[in-house]
Protein backbone atom coordinates (compact mmCIF):
# COMPACT_ATOMS: atom_id res chain seq x y z
CA UNK A 1 0.00 0.00 0.00
CA UNK A 2 1.29 3.41 -0.98
CA UNK A 3 0.20 6.78 0.41
CA UNK A 4 0.36 9.41 -2.32
CA UNK A 5 -0.85 12.69 -0.89
CA UNK A 6 1.60 15.55 -0.41
CA UNK A 7 2.62 17.24 2.81
CA UNK A 8 -0.16 19.82 2.55
CA UNK A 9 -2.75 17.08 3.19
CA UNK A 10 -0.63 14.78 5.34
CA UNK A 11 -2.69 15.61 8.43
CA UNK A 12 -6.15 15.44 6.84
CA UNK A 13 -8.55 13.56 9.10
CA UNK A 14 -9.99 11.43 6.30
CA UNK A 15 -7.82 8.67 4.84
CA UNK A 16 -9.34 6.76 1.92
CA UNK A 17 -7.97 3.31 1.16
CA UNK A 18 -8.54 3.20 -2.55
CA UNK A 19 -8.07 1.60 -5.91
CA UNK A 20 -9.79 3.05 -9.01
CA UNK A 21 -12.67 0.56 -9.18
CA UNK A 22 -16.32 1.58 -9.51
CA UNK A 23 -16.81 1.14 -5.76
CA UNK A 24 -13.71 3.19 -5.01
CA UNK A 25 -14.85 5.97 -7.29
CA UNK A 26 -18.14 6.28 -5.43
CA UNK A 27 -16.19 7.63 -2.49
CA UNK A 28 -13.90 9.96 -4.42
CA UNK A 29 -17.00 11.49 -6.02
CA UNK A 30 -18.50 12.09 -2.58
CA UNK A 31 -15.28 13.55 -1.17
CA UNK A 32 -14.82 15.82 -4.17
CA UNK A 33 -18.44 16.98 -3.92
CA UNK A 34 -17.91 17.75 -0.24
CA UNK A 35 -14.68 19.63 -1.05
CA UNK A 36 -13.05 18.35 2.13
CA UNK A 37 -9.35 17.46 2.42
CA UNK A 38 -8.55 13.76 2.32
CA UNK A 39 -5.57 11.50 2.00
CA UNK A 40 -5.27 8.51 -0.31
CA UNK A 41 -3.67 5.20 0.46
CA UNK A 42 -3.58 3.07 -2.66
CA UNK A 43 -4.40 -0.61 -2.22
CA UNK A 44 -3.32 -2.35 -5.40
CA UNK A 45 -5.76 -5.21 -5.80
CA UNK A 46 -3.75 -6.55 -8.74
CA UNK A 47 -0.94 -7.23 -6.30
CA UNK A 48 -3.29 -8.64 -3.65
CA UNK A 49 -2.53 -5.78 -1.26
CA UNK A 50 -6.11 -6.04 0.00
CA UNK A 51 -5.03 -9.18 1.88
CA UNK A 52 -2.30 -7.37 3.85
CA UNK A 53 -2.84 -7.71 7.63
CA UNK A 54 -2.82 -3.93 8.13
CA UNK A 55 -5.63 -3.51 5.61
CA UNK A 56 -7.64 -6.44 6.94
CA UNK A 57 -7.78 -4.75 10.33
CA UNK A 58 -9.66 -1.92 8.61
CA UNK A 59 -11.59 -3.94 6.03
CA UNK A 60 -12.05 -7.57 7.17
CA UNK A 61 -13.82 -8.46 3.91
CA UNK A 62 -10.61 -7.60 1.97
CA UNK A 63 -12.36 -5.21 -0.41
CA UNK A 64 -11.72 -1.60 -1.34
CA UNK A 65 -12.68 1.06 -0.51
CA UNK A 66 -12.29 1.65 3.21
CA UNK A 67 -12.17 4.90 5.12
CA UNK A 68 -10.47 5.95 8.34
CA UNK A 69 -11.69 9.15 9.97
CA UNK A 70 -9.29 10.37 12.64
CA UNK A 71 -12.00 12.80 13.78
CA UNK A 72 -14.84 10.33 14.13
CA UNK A 73 -17.78 10.29 16.56
CA UNK A 74 -16.83 11.80 19.89
CA UNK A 75 -13.54 12.93 18.41
CA UNK A 76 -12.31 9.33 18.30
CA UNK A 77 -10.94 7.63 15.19
CA UNK A 78 -13.23 5.24 13.34
CA UNK A 79 -12.77 2.95 10.35
CA UNK A 80 -15.54 2.05 7.92
CA UNK A 81 -15.62 -0.60 5.21
CA UNK A 82 -18.26 -1.21 2.50
CA UNK A 83 -18.84 1.62 0.04
CA UNK A 84 -22.50 2.09 0.92
CA UNK A 85 -21.72 2.42 4.62
CA UNK A 86 -18.97 4.94 3.84
CA UNK A 87 -21.36 7.05 1.77
CA UNK A 88 -23.96 7.00 4.54
CA UNK A 89 -21.35 7.92 7.14
CA UNK A 90 -20.05 10.86 5.15
CA UNK A 91 -23.59 11.99 4.37
CA UNK A 92 -24.43 12.06 8.08
CA UNK A 93 -21.10 13.56 9.16
CA UNK A 94 -21.33 16.52 6.79
CA UNK A 95 -25.14 16.62 6.54
CA UNK A 96 -25.04 16.74 2.76
CA UNK A 97 -26.29 14.62 -0.14
CA UNK A 98 -28.28 12.33 2.17
CA UNK A 99 -31.75 13.86 2.13
CA UNK A 100 -33.06 16.84 4.06
CA UNK A 101 -35.57 14.88 6.15
CA UNK A 102 -36.39 11.30 7.08
CA UNK A 103 -38.73 10.82 4.11
CA UNK A 104 -35.97 11.75 1.68
CA UNK A 105 -33.43 9.59 3.54
CA UNK A 106 -35.72 6.58 3.20
CA UNK A 107 -35.77 7.09 -0.58
CA UNK A 108 -32.00 7.48 -0.66
CA UNK A 109 -31.53 4.30 1.38
CA UNK A 110 -33.90 2.32 -0.85
CA UNK A 111 -31.95 3.11 -3.97
CA UNK A 112 -28.57 2.83 -2.29
CA UNK A 113 -29.35 -0.73 -1.22
CA UNK A 114 -30.70 -1.40 -4.71
CA UNK A 115 -27.30 -0.44 -6.09
CA UNK A 116 -25.08 -2.27 -3.61
CA UNK A 117 -27.20 -5.45 -3.63
CA UNK A 118 -28.20 -5.49 -7.29
CA UNK A 119 -26.73 -3.19 -9.88
CA UNK A 120 -23.11 -3.42 -8.74
CA UNK A 121 -22.87 -7.19 -8.20
CA UNK A 122 -24.82 -8.06 -11.34
CA UNK A 123 -22.85 -5.66 -13.55
CA UNK A 124 -19.63 -7.01 -12.08
CA UNK A 125 -20.59 -10.61 -12.83
CA UNK A 126 -21.76 -9.72 -16.34
CA UNK A 127 -18.43 -8.05 -17.05
CA UNK A 128 -16.55 -11.03 -15.58
CA UNK A 129 -18.22 -13.62 -17.78
CA UNK A 130 -18.37 -11.42 -20.89
CA UNK A 131 -14.86 -9.98 -20.84
CA UNK A 132 -12.52 -11.58 -18.32
CA UNK A 133 -12.77 -15.35 -18.04
CA UNK A 134 -11.21 -17.35 -20.85
CA UNK A 135 -13.93 -19.98 -20.81
CA UNK A 136 -17.11 -19.03 -22.68
CA UNK A 137 -20.09 -19.80 -20.45
CA UNK A 138 -23.29 -18.89 -22.35
CA UNK A 139 -25.62 -19.55 -19.42
CA UNK A 140 -23.70 -17.23 -17.10
CA UNK A 141 -23.47 -14.51 -19.74
CA UNK A 142 -27.20 -14.71 -20.44
CA UNK A 143 -28.11 -14.91 -16.76
CA UNK A 144 -26.12 -11.90 -15.57
CA UNK A 145 -26.50 -9.75 -18.68
CA UNK A 146 -30.25 -10.32 -18.57
CA UNK A 147 -30.43 -9.28 -14.94
CA UNK A 148 -28.38 -6.15 -15.63
CA UNK A 149 -30.76 -5.25 -18.42
CA UNK A 150 -33.72 -5.69 -16.08
CA UNK A 151 -32.05 -3.39 -13.54
CA UNK A 152 -31.47 -0.78 -16.23
CA UNK A 153 -35.17 -0.95 -17.06
CA UNK A 154 -35.93 -0.21 -13.41
CA UNK A 155 -33.52 2.72 -13.43
CA UNK A 156 -34.91 4.00 -16.74
CA UNK A 157 -38.42 4.12 -15.29
CA UNK A 158 -37.19 5.87 -12.14
CA UNK A 159 -35.38 8.56 -14.13
CA UNK A 160 -38.15 9.12 -16.67
CA UNK A 161 -39.55 12.18 -14.87
CA UNK A 162 -36.78 13.28 -12.49
CA UNK A 163 -33.20 14.45 -12.93
CA UNK A 164 -31.61 12.40 -10.16
CA UNK A 165 -32.39 8.93 -8.86
CA UNK A 166 -33.87 9.71 -5.43
CA UNK A 167 -35.11 13.21 -6.28
CA UNK A 168 -32.44 15.70 -5.20
CA UNK A 169 -28.84 14.87 -6.10
CA UNK A 170 -27.57 12.40 -3.50
CA UNK A 171 -25.16 9.64 -2.57
CA UNK A 172 -27.31 7.29 -4.68
CA UNK A 173 -26.25 9.03 -7.87
CA UNK A 174 -22.63 8.83 -6.73
CA UNK A 175 -23.05 5.11 -6.03
CA UNK A 176 -24.65 4.24 -9.36
CA UNK A 177 -22.67 6.43 -11.75
CA UNK A 178 -19.30 4.60 -11.67
CA UNK A 179 -21.08 1.37 -12.59
CA UNK A 180 -23.41 2.82 -15.21
CA UNK A 181 -20.64 4.74 -16.95
CA UNK A 182 -19.10 1.31 -17.67
CA UNK A 183 -22.34 0.06 -19.22
CA UNK A 184 -20.64 -1.43 -22.28
CA UNK A 185 -18.77 -3.91 -20.10
CA UNK A 186 -22.12 -5.43 -19.17
CA UNK A 187 -23.42 -5.42 -22.74
CA UNK A 188 -25.72 -2.43 -22.28
CA UNK A 189 -26.39 0.12 -25.02
CA UNK A 190 -27.60 3.37 -23.48
CA UNK A 191 -29.55 4.21 -26.61
CA UNK A 192 -32.05 1.66 -25.28
CA UNK A 193 -32.33 3.67 -22.05
CA UNK A 194 -32.61 7.36 -23.00
CA UNK A 195 -33.45 8.65 -19.52
CA UNK A 196 -30.43 6.85 -18.09
CA UNK A 197 -28.31 8.29 -20.88
CA UNK A 198 -29.41 11.83 -20.05
CA UNK A 199 -28.64 11.22 -16.38
CA UNK A 200 -25.14 10.00 -17.29
CA UNK A 201 -24.61 13.20 -19.27
CA UNK A 202 -25.74 15.34 -16.32
CA UNK A 203 -23.45 13.47 -13.98
CA UNK A 204 -20.47 13.58 -16.32
CA UNK A 205 -20.31 17.37 -16.46
CA UNK A 206 -20.36 17.89 -12.70
CA UNK A 207 -16.92 19.32 -11.81
CA UNK A 208 -16.56 17.09 -8.76
CA UNK A 209 -17.31 13.99 -10.82
CA UNK A 210 -14.76 15.04 -13.42
CA UNK A 211 -12.13 15.46 -10.69
CA UNK A 212 -13.05 12.21 -8.99
CA UNK A 213 -12.64 10.16 -12.15
CA UNK A 214 -9.06 11.38 -12.48
CA UNK A 215 -8.10 10.13 -9.02
CA UNK A 216 -5.86 7.10 -9.27
CA UNK A 217 -5.29 7.16 -13.01
CA UNK A 218 -1.67 8.23 -12.76
CA UNK A 219 -0.96 5.71 -10.00
CA UNK A 220 -2.41 2.92 -12.13
CA UNK A 221 -0.27 3.99 -15.10
CA UNK A 222 2.82 4.20 -12.89
CA UNK A 223 2.36 0.71 -11.56
CA UNK A 224 1.69 -0.67 -15.03
CA UNK A 225 5.01 0.82 -16.14
CA UNK A 226 6.75 -0.83 -13.19
CA UNK A 227 5.29 -4.19 -14.15
CA UNK A 228 6.55 -3.80 -17.71
CA UNK A 229 10.03 -2.95 -16.48
CA UNK A 230 10.02 -5.94 -14.14
CA UNK A 231 8.97 -8.18 -17.00
Residue 71's CATH number: 3.40.30.10
Beta bridge partners of 172: none
Residue 227 lies in a domain: no
CATH assignment of the domain containing 204: 1.20.1050.10
Q: Looking at residues 115-121, what average pLDDT do you find?
A: 98
**Contacts with 104 (C-beta within 8 Å, 6 or more apart), sequence order:** 166, 167, 168, 170
- 180 with 111: CB under 8 angstroms? no
**Contacts with 184 (C-beta within 8 Å, 6 or more apart), sequence order:** none
- Residue ending a domain, choose from 80, 96, 112: 96
- Residue ending a domain, choose from 96, 123, 154: 96
pTM score of the predicted model: 0.91
Q: What percent of the chain has a predicted confidence (pLDDT) above 70?
A: 90
User: For position 119, what pLDDT does the model report?
Assistant: 98
Look at the chain and report how many structural domains it folds into. Answer: 2
| Residue 85 belongs to domain spanning | 14-96
- Answer yes or no: do 44 and 80 share one domain: yes
* Cα dihedral sign, 204-209-211-213: negative
Confidence of residue 216 (pLDDT cuts 50, 70, 90): confident
Residue 137 lies in a domain: yes
Segment 37-73, tens digit of pLDDT: 999 999 999 999 999 999 999 999 999 999 999 999 9
Buried b (16+ CB within 10 A) or exposed e, 73-93: eeeeeeebbbbbebbbbbbeb
User: For position 231, what pLDDT does the model report?
Assistant: 55
Q: What is the mean pLDDT of the chain?
A: 92
Amino acid sequence: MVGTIGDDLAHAALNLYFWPTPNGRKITIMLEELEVPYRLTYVNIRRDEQFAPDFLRIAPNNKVPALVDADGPGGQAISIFESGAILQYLGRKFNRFYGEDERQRVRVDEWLFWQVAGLGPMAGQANHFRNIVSEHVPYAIERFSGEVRRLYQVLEKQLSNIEYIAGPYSIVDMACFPWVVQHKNAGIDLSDFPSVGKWVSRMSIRPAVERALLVGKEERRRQKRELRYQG
